[in-house]
Amino acid sequence: MNTASPLFSQPIAYRDPGNILRQLRHLPGLRFLDSAQRETSLGRYSFLMADPFSTLIVREGQVYRDEVLLEMDPWSALKTTLDAFSFPADPTGPPFRGGAVGYLGYELNHTVEDLPTLPADHPEIPDLWIDLYDVVAVFDHVQQAATIYSSGFPEQDPRARTSRAIQRAGWLAGYLQPDGKDNSCENPSPALSWQSNFSREAYLRQVERIRTWIADGDIFQANFSQRFTAELPDGFDPLSFYEHARQINAAPFGAYFQYPGFTIASMSPERFLEVADRRVETRPIKGTRPRHGDVQEDLRLANELRNSVKDRSENTMIVDLLRNDLSKVCIPGSVQVPVLCGLESYASVHHLVSVVEGRLRPGLHAVDAIRAAFPGGSITGAPKKRAMEIIQEVEQIPRHVYCGSMGYWGFDGRMDSNIAIRTVLLTRQQAWFQSGGGIVYLSDAAEEFQESLDKAARIFTAFQP
């Protein structure tokens, strides 16, 4: 590990990064961390990168780095990989200037708890895929400025590293120059025919089963979802879909990850975990109402959510769970709840959002923090292990990326990640996503079914011309 060589930076012209994706789409490892909703403090930065120098994949319980099998668990492999490269933190600079970018699939829950496994229905989707990037374009939407940061990794010799850093910054800058072409959004496809893995009646029955487990004292809450699947027409373009989706579903934790054989498009509003300057923050969402075109009705729905005993109870349960998760890795007494059940409004829904934070204990890594809290409490339930067992029993399918996490782990020790909700997986033949909500004893099955449809509605719309 060598930190003597400086991090090279190169200012470039600011443009909306969502309008640049087409210029990079043919590059390997294209990743876009997209803060498309910019009117909040969470939406200041977006990050664009391609052509990673190393890859970590978990498939069928086996961990591979650059196609070499590693005899270690995924979390140790990620820590070891990150620890091979580092540069000093800059508290005045952007939060990410190079490092690991990728996703943690929900089924990594088997690495933190002893849980039964489900047959893989999409074996082409690994449980984890994380790439290491030495060069990244950072877009500051507040300052309307853009900068390329280049570390020169994996070179370790200072002179070789500096030379590579300059060369790679110039390489990426060349792709980000205006190309004179019309990069505007295209209509993604004809309207698709969606099928759920549950009928309305079957969904309601499973909600009642969960309420019975709650009444029996097994759990207090469980997150339950249905999967929507559609066949894609020949020539369907995932990038056109995402360009359209990010316009109508703007979110602070969006992402577009392009892989061989599949693509992930996320419009997530929810932060899972951030680590910055040893401060750990999670922002669970629990409680939802649809937006309405009429201003007065929209305000009524927001106030109804803000005052809902059921939704506030659901949110508070998860806050307690996450306080416990963070206490495993934070300095005793440092875990606090500065915001409890705050109202946040997005393009299609209102949410209740809380903030839980703490100080990471000395000697622990950002990866230790995410392992302690994975999967997020807002998309599992409480108690977490039993809730995950019940989720598996009622859903009967792997979640894959859904309710896992997408984000970055910087070479300077910072990290930020989303909860992968409002997230679509696309192969050459199919698109699918899941939508659901937290079930508590006070839940009404029909209302829970409708809530899952309300959350899904804007994704359906994003697929329409």
Place of tokens 């930190």: 3
Strands 262-268 vs 253-259: parallel, antiparallel or unpaired = antiparallel
Q: How far is CA 321 from CA 138, 163, 213, 419, in A?
A: 34, 48, 18, 16
Chain center to CA of 277: 21
Q: Within a 10 A sphere around the Cβ of 235, how many other Cβ atoms?
A: 6
Residues with Cβ within 8 Å of 62's Cβ and at least 6 positions away in sequence, in order, are: 69
Helix/strand/coil for 120: coil
Residue from 286, 384, 389, 395 carrying the catalytic annotation = 286
**Nearest of 344, 346, 326 to residue 335 by alpha carbon:** 326
Residue from 107, 270, 314, 344 carrying the catalytic annotation = 270
389 is catalytic: no
Residue type, 353: V
Confirm if 127 and 108 have CB atoms less than 8 A apart: yes
Question: Exposure string (b/e) for 17-32, b if CB count within 10 Å is 16 or more?
Answer: bbebbbbbeeeebbbb
79 is catalytic: no
Confirm if 220 and 214 have CB atoms less than 8 A apart: yes
| Catalytic machinery residues | 270, 286
